[in-house]
Amino acid sequence: MPEQGALSGLTIIDLSRLLPGPYASMVLADHGARVIAIEDKRFVSDGFFVTTVNRNKEHISLNLKTPKGQEILRKLVSMADVLIEGFRPGVVDRLGIDYERISRINPGIVYCSITGYGQSGPYRDRVGHDVNYLATAGVLDLIGKADEPPSIPGVQIADIAAGGMNAVIGILLALIARNQSGKGQYIDISMTDGLLGFLSIPLWFQQMSGAGPRRSDAVLSHRYACYNTYATADGRYLSIGAVENRFWKVLCAYFGVPRYTDLQYDDAHRLEIIDFMREQFRQKPIAHWEAEFGALEICYARVNTLEEVLELPLFRERDMVLDSPDGNGEMLRQLGIAVKLSRTPGTVRTPPPAFGQHTEALLLELGYAAADVEMFREQGVI
C-alpha cells in the first residue's frame, strides 16, 4: 500500500476562483494536502465554477465582506499552512485579509497571490485574461501563420503553466524554507512574468543570429521541413520534429531523397523540401503514416483531437485519463496526476464538490453550533 501523500498533514485555504489558483490547489490536494476552497455564492451565477480543477477539495461558501465571514476565515487561517488568493491587487487590503494581517494571526503562513501582472509595476492595476498576458509577454506574437493575425491557443497557457504551476513551485519552495526557519512568507506570482520563461529558446536564437523571431518562421516553428506539420489524405495532420540530423536522415531515406539530408537547414532549398514533404504526406491517410513510421527512428506524432486523447492507450495505461464516480454515483471522466512519485504517489480520492457542499461541516468543525450556521445563512454570511 502507498504511504500518505507527500503533502499529507498540510492545510491549504484557497480563496481563488476560475483557473490558476484552483489548478494550483488541486495539484497540492492530489498529493495529500487538505484543501478548503472558499468562494462567495454571490458570484456563482457567472457560470465559471470549473469542476475539472476541484477534485480532492472541500468547498465552503463564505461572504468575506461580512464581519462573521471575516471571523470564520480567521479561524480557518489559524489552522492553515498556505493561503492562495487570486484577487486583483489591493482587494485583499480592502477586505482586511492581506498578508501582513493574516501573518499576525499565523506567522508561519505561506501566502500566495496570483495575478496577471504582479503586485508591482506599471501594469499592476490592469485587468486581463490569458490572451492579454500572452500578448504582453510576446508569446502570442509567435503563435499562428506568418501572414495572418496571431492565433489564440485553445488552452490557457498563462493560467495553467505561468500561473498555477509557478504557484505550486513557489508554495513548495516557501514550505521548504519554513521547515528551515519556522517562518512563512509572501509569494507574488505574475502570470505575465511566468510567460517570459517560454521565450528562452527564441531569445537564444536571437542572440545567436542577431535577428528577432518571426511567427511561423523559426527553426522550431515551420521554417524548415524537419520541424513542421503536414496535412494527410484524410484531412488530418501529422507533426514532424526531426530536429537532429540523425532523425532527419531516416525520414529522407524513407522517401528516397538522401540528397536532402545535408540540406536540412539550407535556406536556399527549404521551400523546395517543404513542398516535397507536403506532397508526400497528402497522398496517404494518417493511419498509413503511423503504421509506416512506428518502427522507424523518426520524431513524429499525429495531431490528436480531445476525443482521441481521452481514449489513447498511452494516457489510459499511465492513469492520465481516469473514470471515477462523482457525488451521484455516475462515472466522471477526469485527467490524471502528471507528477508520479514512487513512494508517496498522488491520488484521486474525492470527486469535485458541489458549490458550498462542505460549508456546514466545516463550520461545525470550527466550533459553531447548528443554530449559528442557520443564522449565517439568514444573514448572507454563507
Active site residue ranges: 129, 159
Q: 298 CB contacts (<8 Å, ≥6 apart)?
A: 240, 242, 247, 250, 251, 254
Set of cell numbers at residue 193: 512574468
Q: Phi first, then psi: give them for residue 249, nearest 5 degrees.
A: -60, -40
Query: 187 - beta bridge partners?
Result: 112
Query: 12 - beta bridge partners?
Result: 35, 82
Give the Cα separation of 276 and 251 in Å (integer).
Answer: 12
Coil vs helix vs strand at 39: strand
Instruction: Supply the angle between the helices 166-181 and 20-30 in degrees, to the nearest 10.
Output: 60
Give the Cα separation of 338 and 340 in Å (integer).
Answer: 6
Chain centre distance of CA 136:
19
Q: Phi first, then psi: give them for residue 152, nearest 5 degrees.
A: -80, 125
Q: Which DSSP helix (H) or strand (E) runs through 194?
A: helix 191-195
Position 212: which residue type?
G
Residue 101 near residue 129, CB atoms below 8 Å:
no
CA nearest to 358, candidates 89, 152, 76: 76
Q: 185 CB contacts (<8 Å, ≥6 apart)?
A: 110, 111, 174, 177, 178
Q: Phi first, then psi: give them for residue 187, nearest 5 degrees.
A: -120, 125
Residue 358 near residue 59, CB atoms below 8 Å:
yes
Give the Cα separation of 24 and 15 in Å (integer).
Answer: 12
